[in-house]
């Protein structure tokens, strides 16, 4: 049973889940590009619910992937300084690991929630998106 018509021809439920999964994969492996799949789907898709989830995924994983990229960039730049090498790797490495785990756990949580509740929105992000979109 289909839950709604989409432009790409996929089930609406599957499309909502895929936008979070693809955003996570791009955030982890192509560092600052976590915002790209959600933004592309936002402009291509006509289904309003999928568009809302694509914008939410774009905002959440875009911010997290850019933050993850910047932490790793600063860690790499400061890692060349001999005395700061140990502190930089310890502090910024821990911060980068925390951001990585937040992205993974948040993606799994959002995938589960979106699969079962089609109108699920993150509390702080939804308030920002309501004002912006």
Instruction: Quick: pLDDT tens for 9-38.
Output: 788 888 888 899 988 888 888 767 778 888
User: Tens place of pLDDT for every residue, the chain, 133 residues?
Assistant: 446 678 887 888 888 888 999 888 888 887 677 788 888 888 988 888 888 889 999 889 888 989 999 999 999 888 888 888 888 888 899 999 999 999 999 999 999 999 999 888 888 888 888 777 6
Put simply, whether the predicted model's pTM sits higher than 0.95 gets the answer: no
Is 9 among the domain residues?
A: no
% of the chain with per-residue pLDDT over 90: 23
Is 97 inside a domain boundary?
yes
3-state percent helix, strand, coil for the chain, nearest multiple of 5? 80, 0, 20
In a domain, 35, yes or no: yes
Distances from the Cα of 133 to the Cαs of 25, 48, 52, 126, in angstroms?
A: 25, 12, 9, 10
Residue 38 DSSP label: H
pLDDT at residue 45, rounded to an integer:
85
In a domain, 21, yes or no: yes
Whether 85 is covered by a domain: the verdict is yes
Residue 67 covered by a domain = yes
Q: Is 130 inside any structural domain? A: no
Residue 4 in domain: no
Total domains in the fold of the chain: 1
Domain span including residue 57:
14-124
Q: Which residues, 6 or more positions from 69, have their beta carbon under 8 angstroms from its beta carbon?
A: 31, 32
């Amino acid at each position: 049973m289909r839950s709604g018509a989409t432009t790409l021809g996929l089930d609406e439920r599957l499309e909502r889940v895929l936008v979070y999964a693809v955003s996570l994969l791009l955030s982890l492996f192509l560092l600052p590009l976590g915002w790209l799949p959600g933004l592309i789907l936002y402009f291509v898709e006509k289904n309003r619910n999928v568009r809302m989830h694509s914008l939410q995924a774009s905002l959440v994983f875009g911010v997290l992937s850019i933050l993850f990229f910047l932490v790793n960039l600063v860690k790499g730049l400061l890692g060349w300084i001999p005395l700061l090498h140990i502190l930089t790797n310890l502090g910024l490495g821990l911060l980068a690991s925390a951001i990585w785990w937040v992205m993974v756990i948040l993606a799994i949580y959002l995938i589960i929630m979106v699969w079962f509740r089609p109108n699920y929105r993150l509390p702080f992000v939804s308030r920002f998106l309501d004002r912006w979109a």
